[in-house]
Structure 1
Amino acid sequence: MNMSLQFEFPVNLTAENFIVKLSHEVSTRLASRQSSRKTYYDSFDWRLYSNDITCEFNQAKSASSLTLRSIKNGLVIADAELKKVPLFSKAFDPGIIRDTLAPLLEMRALLPVCTLDYEIYHLNIINKDEKTILRLLIEEYSQFNNRVLLQPVRGYDKAEEHIVEILTATLGLTVTDKPVLLTALQVQGRKPKDYSSKLNINLDPDMRADIAGKYIYSHLLKAIKANEQGTIADTDSEFLHDFRVAVRRTRAGLSQIKGILPANSSAYYADFFSWLGQITGPTRDLDVYLLNFERYKSSLPVSIREDLNPLYDFLLGKQQKSQKELAKKLQSPKYLSTLAEWEQFLKEPSYKKPLEQNAKLTIKELADRRIWKIFTRVLEEGEAITDLSPAEALHDLRKSCKKLRYLMEFFQSLYPENQIKCLIKNLKGLQEVLGDFQDYAVQEHNLKLFSEEMMALNIHANTFLAMGVLVQDLDAHRCNARKDFASRFEDFKQEENRSAFTSLFAPAKPHSHRH
């Protein structure tokens, strides 16, 4: 047995009683006892937990350390002494901890999930020769059952088996593999992964369309509210990103799930969410430039890379200013009262006999109709694009693809899972190339505007040279995306994909009688 073994105490057993009882059975020596505080960390969307890792920061009087553990077997992946926990993985010293965290967390901040104060006892079990044959780590908690962790000593396997027998049979402890984090969250009435940016809406196909629509909007409102504070505080760039996605999805719903809500309400809230899209746009664009900055640098010849640095400072200054303005707007009466109205509107019971033409349909009927309609629009718009079409044609197609994607995601629970997932994946492929084309064009355009603003700031000419090279690089990428479009669209409109869409969403054809 070379794994670390964890046991849970029965309900009312204190650490001191346990030590007394155990010393009737074997010789023990208490090495130390100290108060400690354990804080669990993860990103807001549980990226570590989702990858079976817990991250705990332990603070005792003498020292503090960070430990990454595997949830599966409780084994330590890495640990290091640390005074305090950095907000971002790139701020850790090079080493296993940073190498483990960076690819999982990416741009997300490491935030405290919960904090536990507890007593920690180091107890050694000794043999006749006064040699330590097993170490016990006892954790005494105030809110839930205490625990002990066995730390085997090499060469004394028999002792370990004997002690496990005493702990379970004589003292009534139970083996546990449940991380303390789960128990601690339960006490707070929470559970891990209680926030995810993925849409997971379960609809009943026979649900009335207006009721299902409100259900979808309520789900999106939860996401908007969950990301509001992190967006205002600028904790990390993903809060604003998820906030915007929930706003965009809401707008797509209001424009695409037609005829289920009273027209005047629909128009009123469509205006509000459109305003929200506008006020959050500039900050998000600047976030994206900052996130892309290392990539921008590495696309340049080594000799001029560092010349690009003044652009970073310029963008950061702009981002901070834009962020402050956004935070003000998200605390304004207009935002707070309209969002509260929307929440109230979604809670109101639906009329027994709604007036809107689609409200009485089942959500499945409406979903079929809307998805089929937008799918045929995507095919028509795509077919019409040639090598000579203006950029706008690709931008319009991109918007239609987005609408189709949001509809398919809203309603995916109404269709066989593997089929709808596969169709969404094919659509993603087309969206990626359209998105790249758009992003490169916008970045190229904005870099030119930035350089005009920077002219007034006495910035060295070399920086403008480097920015010129960057614009060229973005332009090459844009042309490549444009070239890739044709083949991606070919893939999307091939017979197999079309017939899959047809079988899931197309209206049933009336039978024609042949003479």
Structure 2
Amino acid sequence: MSKVRRYEVTAAGDFASVLSVLTDHLGLRLLSLDEGERSWLDTPTGTLERAKTTLEFRLPSGDGTPSLTWAAEGRVLVYDPCVSSTPPVKASDLPASAAFARLVTLVDGGELVAGPTVNSQVAVLACLDDEEKTTARVIFDRSETIDGVTLPMMLEVLPLRGYEDEASSLEKKLKRSVALSASATPMKELALQGRSSGRASGGGKDVAALVPTMSAARAWRVVFQTLTDSMTQSFSGVLSGNDPEDLHAFRVAVRRIRTILQDGDDVVDPESRDRFRHEYRWLGDVTTPTRDADVHLIEFPELAATLPPSRREELASFNEVLLRHRADCHAAMTIELRSMRRAEFGTAWLSFLADDDAWTGCGDLADEPVLRIVLRRVEKANRQLVKNGRKISKKSPAIALHELRKEGKRLRYLLECFAPLFDEKALATILRPLRDVQDVLGEFQDTEVQANALLELAGELEGADDHSALMAIGGVIEQLGVRGADARASFSKTFGRFDDRKVQRAFDQLEPRKKKR
């Protein structure tokens, strides 16, 4: 029997990106991709562990069929789909088949107890030769404990008998394309360790806390890791497109990373900073049309409700246009997110975050205390926002307000991403009016964008000569214009509350006061 080669994916976190590298770049064929809950079973005395075998019960998400797998050294001895959605608790509960007879004998009538349980994404892939024969199987596994402790992503290479040389060649290609570290620890043991650490720490991820004396480079890295985790958690939902909030959360993390990269001069390695700023801008661009389409669908019923009842009924056909448009945008976005560019960029970003050398001596200010650096960046961003905000008048072009919104986002993201460093009272004093300014500017820009988009999409109804629907859409666009005008009219008063002496004084109070002994 050929030995299983096991590796930890050291650039852990982005399952989709690594999977794309395996399929698109290395040409592995995806045989199955399962998501759900997994539990390892054994007798109370550890009979199966002593026999160097594992019994795994899987309960898939959605409508999948539960299954039971008995394996040795990563190789499946017996697999059986189960009818029951609960794991067997004694030998007599095991499938009554010749294949499981050996396992029944091994357990010898004893009880079966559940060991560690994890939520997993597991991909099984095949490496094929020129004759389309399988030479090796690759199992790619991302799991986290029920307590929420994320485990290292694992990759196993299982050579088929007689194809050891081909498997070795595959391993070399894998190591060149994915950051790997040899591991002797199977996922079951990692799950046991993760469960213990989760109980000891109260669960959750082991993310370093931001403290004022931390070096700027380390703090920037911590913030990036936290935001990357947020992107990873929502990524599968972005691809499925079932919940608009997944894409919204994903895009917020992308925008925040872009902002922290922008303000990472002399802290982050300049070459990496320039590259990733470019890539994250691209990632924001390719997800924008779908987010805009989501907003159209979410807000359209409320907008339609402002029309007379007879006019609302005339908009039914246009709702179908919005649904088709959203589906088209999502399909185009999914192609980009599954592209080689996205996969390589995602892997490079995770490798960058995992590479200690990339964060050593990476800038003139990298070793400075983070609070000192962040306060300077906040002061600069606030000064620019106040200066340009005071210039806005009734005659200012719309682009001036759009640019001011970007400046406000920059300040807000700096404050929120590094929030643990600041005095809580001073931070709250600043954020409340700053968010109000953002809301007003956002309403002004969003209504303008939405009105233009609806006007363009309305053209798809013209072929059907649907004049009544076009008239109703005109009423909706008119309502958007009213909302936009109201937002612009309220800007001066709203900005004045931010450009207030008390709020501006709070910027000087962001540094936490030292506690008296």
TM-score interval (norm. to shorter): 0.5 to 0.7
Structure 1 residues 362-400: Cα deviation after superposition (integer angstroms, max 9, x where no partner): 111111000010011110011111111111111111100
Q: The residue matched to 2:363 in structure 1 has which SS?
A: coil
Q: Using the TM superposition, give the Cα deviation of residue 306 of structure 1 relative to its aligned residue in structure 2, in angstroms.
A: 1.3
- Name the structure 2 match of 1:71: none
CA deviation profile, 1:172-205 (whole Å, cap 9, x unmatched): xxxxxxxxx989x999968899899xxx983121
Following superposition, the deviation at residue 262 of structure 1 comes to 2.0
Q: 1:228 to 1:195 in 2, by over 3 A?
A: farther
The equivalences for 1:184-203 within 5 A come to 202-203=209-210
Residues 90-109 of structure 1: pairs in structure 2 closer than 5 A: none
Partners of 1:247 and 1:276 within 8 A in 2: yes
Alpha-carbon distance, 1:459 to partner: 4.7
Question: Which is greater in Rg?
Answer: 1
Residue identity matched to 2:272? S
Match of 1:497 in 2: 503
Q: 1:182 to 1:212 in 2, by over 3 A?
A: closer
Q: 1:503 to 1:470 in 2, by over 3 A?
A: same
1:464 aligns with 2:450: no
User: Are 1:284 and 2:284 counterparts?
Assistant: no
Q: Per the alignment, do residues 372 and 229 of structure 1 end up closer, same or farther by CA in structure 2, a change over 3 Å counting?
A: same
User: Which of 446, 449, 457 is residue 450 of structure 1 equivalent to?
Assistant: 457
Please, which of 303, 307, 314 is the counterpart of residue 310 of structure 2?
Answer: 303
Counterpart of 2:492 in structure 1 is 486
Moved more, 289-298 or 363-372: 289-298
- Quick one: distance in 2 between partners of 1:265 and 1:479? 42
Higher relative CO (Cα under 8 Å, sequence separation at least 6) belongs to 2
1:367–1:453 CA distance, 2 compared to 1 (3 A): same
Give secondary structure in 2 for the equivalent of 1:312.
helix
> What SS is found at the alignment partner of 1:299?
coil
State the Cα distance separating 1:357 from its structure 2 match.
2.3
- Residue 480 of structure 2 is matched in structure 1 by 474
> C-alpha distance in 1, partners of 2:193/2:298?
35
Give the secondary-structure state (helix, strand or coil) at the position aligned to 1:504: coil
Q: Contact 1:298–1:305 at 8 Å: present in 2 too?
A: yes
Checking the alignment, whether the CA contact within 8 Å between 1:378 and 1:401 is kept in structure 2 is yes
Deviation at 1:237, TM superposition (A): 1.2
Q: 1:201 touches 1:219 (CA, 8 Å); kept in 2?
A: no
**Superposed displacement of residue 143, structure 1:** 3.6
CA separation of 1:482 and 1:40: change in aligned 2, threshold 3 A: farther
Q: How far did residue 498 of structure 1 move?
A: 0.9
1:272 is matched with: 279
Deviations 1:226-248 (A, max 9, x none): 21111111131111111111111
Closer/same/farther in 2, CA of residues 389 and 222 from structure 1, 3 Å limit: same
Q: CA RMSD in A?
A: 3.6
1:395 corresponds to which residue?
A: 402
> 2: distance between equivalents of 1:404 and 1:485?
18
Matched, 1:408 2:397: no
Which of 265, 270, 289 is matched with 1:263 structurally?
270
Change (3 A) 1:258 1:462: same
Aligned residue for 1:91? Answer: none
- Match of residue 377 from structure 1: 384
Gaps of 5+ in 1: 1-11, 13-38, 43-114, 120-139, 145-180, 507-515
Question: Residues 447 and 303 of structure 1: is their aligned pair in 2 closer, same or farther, counting only changes over 3 Å?
Answer: same
TM-score by length of 2: 0.60
| Cα offset, 1:256, TM superposition | 1.9
In structure 2, the CA distance between the partners of 1:445 and 1:277, relative to structure 1 (3 Å rule), is same
Determine if contact 1:381/1:397 at 8 Å carries over to the other structure. Answer: yes
Distance 2:340 2:244 in 1: 24
In 2: Cα distance, 1:240 partner to 1:351 partner: 30
Residues 388-447 of structure 1 show CA distances to partners (whole Å, capped at 9, x for unaligned) of 111111111110000001000111100122331332222111111111111111111111
Question: Aligned pair in 2 of structure 1 residues 361, 301: CA closer, same or farther (>3 Å)?
Answer: same
Residues 195/302 of structure 1: CA separation in 2 closer, same or farther (3 Å cut): farther
- Which residue does the alignment assign to 2:330? 323
- In the alignment, the residues of structure 2 paired with residue 474 and residue 352 of structure 1 have an alpha-carbon distance, to the nearest angstrom, of 47
The gaps in structure 2 that reach 5 residues or longer are 1-43, 45-58, 63-84, 90-110, 116-145, 151-190, 513-517
Give the number of aligned pairs: 343
**Pairing partner for 2:215 from 205, 208, 215:** 208
Give 2:80's aligned residue.
none
Task: Label 1:477 to 1:187 Cα distance change in 2 as closer, same or farther (>3 A).
Answer: farther
Q: Cα distance, 1:341 vs. partner?
A: 0.7
Cα pair 2:422 2:511 within 8 Å, conserved: no
The whole-number CA distance in structure 2 between the counterparts of 1:295 and 1:418 is: 37
Greater Cα offset, 306-315 or 343-352: 343-352
Which amino acid is 2:432 matched to? K
Moved more, 385-394 or 252-261: 252-261
Given the alignment, which residue of 423, 430, 451 partners 1:423? 430
Distance (whole Å) between structure 2 residues aligned to residue 194 and residue 377 of structure 1: 41
Task: Name the SS for the 1:503 alignment partner.
Answer: coil
